[in-house]
Amino acid sequence: MQEKKGYVSFVLHAHLPFIHHPESDDYLEESWLYEAISETYLPLLTNFQKLVDEGVNFRITMSMTPPLLSMLDNKLLQRKYIKYLKQLIELSKKEVKRTANDERLNQLSHYYLDRYSNDLYLFKEVYHCNLIEAFKHFQDIGVLEIITCGATHGYFPILYVNEKTIKAQIAVGVQTYERYFGRKPRGIWLPECGYVPEADKYLKEFGIDYIITESHGILYANPTPIYGTFAPIVSPEGVVAFGRDIESSRQVWSSINGYPGDYNYREFYRDIGYETDYDYIKPYIAHNGVRVHTGIKYYRITGDTDSKDYYNPQWAMDSAEKQAGHFLDSRTSQISHLTQYMETPPIILCPYDAELYGHWWYEGPYWLYILFKKIYYDDCNFELITPSEYIDKYPNMQVSSPCRSSWGANRL
C-alpha cells in the first residue's frame, strides 16, 4: 500500500428554496422537494448505509440548510411526499402495461416501479419519514460531518450593507442546526459561497470554525497563500477558509467534458410527462394541465442529437465505475505532484451542490459509492477527510484574509 500523502474532502451543499402550501394538495413547486428526496437524499442515505455495512471507512461532509431542514421536518410535506410516491407507483404500473410490447421499455418501466416502491418502503418503514434523523445517524457514527448555512440562504455580499442581517442569518443557522443535531456546527457553507470579511466576527461569535469558499476567495487572499487552495488559510479574526479545487471540480461540473455528460447516463430532459398521450398523463402532471416532469425517463444522453437511445442502467453503472477510477487516478497524480512542494499534506476540497448527485446526474450517488470503495481498497496515496478533521490534525496554517468572493466563475 502507498503511504498516504494527502487528503480529499467531499462537501455536498444540500439546499432547496423553502416551499410549503398547506392551502392546497397540489403545488408544482413542492415537487422540487419530492424529486430531491427520491433522486438525491434517499440514494445518498442508501449508499452511505451500504458503505457502512460493507466495512468501508469513508468521510463526507454535507451542509443541510435551515429551509431544507424545516421542509424535511414538516409533517404535512411528509404526507404529501408519500402521496407523490403512490401516484408515481400507480403511473409506473400503468407504464408496465402500456410498454408490454416493447421489451426494453418494459424492463425500464419495471425498473421505475421497483425504484419508487422501494422509495416508499424506505421513507415510511425504514426512516419513519424522518430523513433528518437518518442523516444525523451517520454523523453520530463518525462518517458524515453536517455543517450549517445561513438562515434563509441569504447572500452575504448584499446583506452586509446592514451587518445585523448577516448576524441574524448566522445565528438562526446555528440555532436551527443545534435544534436538529444536538450539537454546535463547526463549519458553514456560506450561501452561494458569498464571502465578506465583515461576517468573520459573527462567525466567531457563534462558534463557527471554518467556511467553504470559492477558489478565487483563496487565490486572491491577502497575503497570497503559499499553497493556493491546497491548504486552508485562517483569517485575522480566526476563521479557517477552505477553497474549492479547480481541477477536480471541472471533472464533475464541466458541461463540455464533465462526467455527467457521459452518453450512457440518463437523459434528464426526456420525460414521459412531455411525451405520452395527454389524456393518459393528465392525472400525473400539474393540476392546471401543464405538462411537467414525472421522473420516469426512458432515454440516455446518447450524444449531441435529438435521436436518443433507450437508457441502459448497466451501461450507466459501467460508466460510473470507469469514471470513479479516473477521478481516483487524477487525485493520486495531483497529490503526488503537490507533496513535492508542501510541508503539510495537501487537501483537495471537492464541493458540489448535493442535488447534482441523483437529480441532475442520476448516477451520481452510485459514482460516489464506487469512488469511496476504491479509495478504501485500492492502492492510492490519499484518504478521505472532513474539514474539521483536517483542522484538528494540522492546526498550523497561514494567516491570510480571504478575498470577497462568490460561487462560480467570474463572480467576484
Whichever domain contains 61, its CATH number is 3.20.110.10
**102 in any annotated domain:** no
Residues with Cβ within 8 Å of residue 57, at least 6 apart in sequence: 143, 376
**182 in any annotated domain:** yes
Summarize pLDDT for 359-394 with one digit per residue, the tens. Answer: 999 999 999 999 999 999 998 999 999 999 999 999
Q: What is the sign, positive or negative, of the torsion defined by CA atoms of 155, 157, 158, 160? A: positive
User: Mean pLDDT score of the chain, rounded to an integer?
Assistant: 95
The confidence band for 409, taking pLDDT boundaries of 50, 70 and 90, is low
pLDDT for 257: 82
pLDDT for 23: 75
The reported pTM is: 0.95
**363 in any annotated domain:** yes
390, amino acid identity: Y
CA 280 distance to own-chain centroid: 34
Q: Which domain holds residue 358?
A: 6-73+130-225+232-266+311-399
Question: Which of 19-23, 197-201, 367-371, 398-402 is the least confident region?
Answer: 19-23
pLDDT for 411: 45
Percent above pLDDT 90 for the chain: 90
The answer to whether 365 and 49 have CB atoms below 8 angstroms apart is: no
Beta strands 240-243 and 233-234, pairing class: antiparallel
Over range 219-225, report the average pLDDT: 97
- Res. 90: pLDDT tops 80: yes
**92 in any annotated domain:** no
- Res. 5: pLDDT tops 80: yes
Alpha carbons 336 and 246: distance in angstroms, whole number:
17
Give how far Cα 185 sits from Cα of 173, 277, 378, Å: 9, 50, 32
Quote the strand ranges of 214-322, DSSP E: 233-234, 240-243
The answer to whether 315 and 299 have CB atoms below 8 angstroms apart is: no
Percent above pLDDT 70 for the chain: 98
Over range 106-120, report the average pLDDT: 98
Over range 321-338, report the average pLDDT: 97
The answer to whether 328 and 378 have CB atoms below 8 angstroms apart is: yes
Reduced to 3 states, what is the DSSP secondary structure of residue 258? coil
CA 235 distance to own-chain centroid: 27
* Whether the bond into 395 is cis, omega within 30 of 0: no
pLDDT for 27: 72
CA-wise closest residue to 149 among 12, 350, 9:
12
Summarize pLDDT for 250-292 with one digit per residue, the tens. Answer: 899 876 789 999 999 999 999 999 999 999 999 999 888 999 9
Over range 93-122, report the average pLDDT: 98
Q: What is the DSSP letter of 125?
A: I
The confidence band for 407, taking pLDDT boundaries of 50, 70 and 90, is confident
pLDDT for 184: 97
Over range 294-320, report the average pLDDT: 96
Reduced to 3 states, what is the DSSP secondary structure of residue 357? strand
- Res. 398: pLDDT tops 70: yes
Alpha carbons 328 and 324: distance in angstroms, whole number:
6
pLDDT for 253: 81
Over range 66-90, report the average pLDDT: 97
Over range 163-171, report the average pLDDT: 96
- Res. 20: pLDDT tops 50: yes
Strand partners, 210: 187, 240
State the greatest distance between any 2 C-alpha atoms of the chain, in Å, as a whole number.
68
H-helix or E-strand containing 18? none
pLDDT for 238: 97
CA-wise closest residue to 44 among 30, 58, 29:
58
pLDDT for 412: 43
pLDDT for 408: 63
**21 in any annotated domain:** yes
| Helices 42-53, 131-140: crossing angle, 10 deg rounding | 30
Over range 123-152, report the average pLDDT: 98
The answer to whether 209 and 313 have CB atoms below 8 angstroms apart is: no
The answer to whether 351 and 235 have CB atoms below 8 angstroms apart is: no
What are the start-end ranges of the H helices in 308-351? 313-338
pLDDT for 153: 95
Q: Which residue has the higher pLDDT, 257 or 132?
A: 132
Give the count of domains, the chain. 1
**350 in any annotated domain:** yes
**411 in any annotated domain:** no
**289 in any annotated domain:** no
pLDDT for 28: 76
Three cell numbers, residue 55 = 466495512
Residues with Cβ within 8 Å of residue 2, at least 6 apart in sequence: 379, 380, 381
Q: Residue 22, exposed/middle/buried by CB under 10 A (0-12, 13-18, 19+)?
A: exposed
